[in-house]
Chain A
Amino acid sequence: NAGVMQNPRHLVRRRGQEARLRCSPMKGHSHVYWYRQLPEEGLKFMVYLQKENIIDESGMPKERFSAEFPKEGPSILRIQQVVRGDSAAYFCASSPKQGHTDTQYFGPGTRLTVL
């Protein structure tokens, strides 16, 4: 699971700015998931993507949040006009295309702080 990469590891934004979080899945993995973890809480599902497709975005806030996983390059979670309540750790996970597709491996996370 060390293969899931996320950057930046820490991100500081002022209210109203945009935050872009990037995730590169493990080699051979084509499924990407984003989760949010508030301090002292569990992980909450946000969105599930495959290459060029959003499969399930039932956990995404209706406004300001968007995600993509282009044909080339990392998956991007974008938060527009950030507010203090967006401060959290955002984790990306990936799973393989075949075999045990259930198993999700997590990246190191991006810790977003909104001032």
Chain B
Amino acid sequence: GENVEQHPSTLSVQEGDSAVIKCTYSDSASNYFPWYKQELGKRPQLIIDIRSNVGEKKDQRIAVTLNKTAKHFSLHITETQPEDSAVYFCAAKVGGNEKLTFGTGTRLTIIP
């Protein structure tokens, strides 16, 4: 089955700087890659997603890039703010299969 690895597990960034979180996946048939943000005790919230027919997608300060050849995708957050502090999860979905396989999460801390 699909396996998703996520790095780093923790990341501290000065407010205003950029943060990058990387994930790799194992199944070349994966075609959907969402990113979720989870604050302590809260639900995972979808912040951005990308499908395998595009290489990059941007939404204000958040962007995701996908390299299908290398089977990795990354989340980029620019101009970080204290409210960006949370745990971020990447996930992948194999085409024809509805379940999401999640990475182990990155705890992002923005230092004021």
Contact = CB atoms under 8 A, between A and B. Distances in A.
B43 A48 contact: no
A37 to B, nearest CB: 9
B99 A42 contact: no
A98 interface: no
Contact of B98 (A33, A43, A105, A108): A33
Interface in B64-84: none
A43 B44 contact: yes
Interface in B33-80: 34, 36, 42-46, 49, 51
Given A42-B89, A43-B89, A102-B51, A108 B101 contact: no
B99 A1 contact: no
A30 to B, nearest CB: 12
Interface in A35-54: 35, 41-45, 48
Contacts of A106: 36, 43-46
B100 interface: yes
Contact of A42 (B32, B93, B103): B103
A43 B100 CA distance: 9
A104 B34 contact: yes
Contacts of A55: 98
Contacts of B100: 33, 35, 43, 45, 104
B99 A48 contact: yes
B93 A45 contact: no
Contacts of A1: 43, 45-46
A33 B43 CA distance: 14
Contacts of B25: none
Interface of A: 1, 4, 31, 33, 35, 41-45, 48, 55-56, 58-59, 91, 95, 101-109
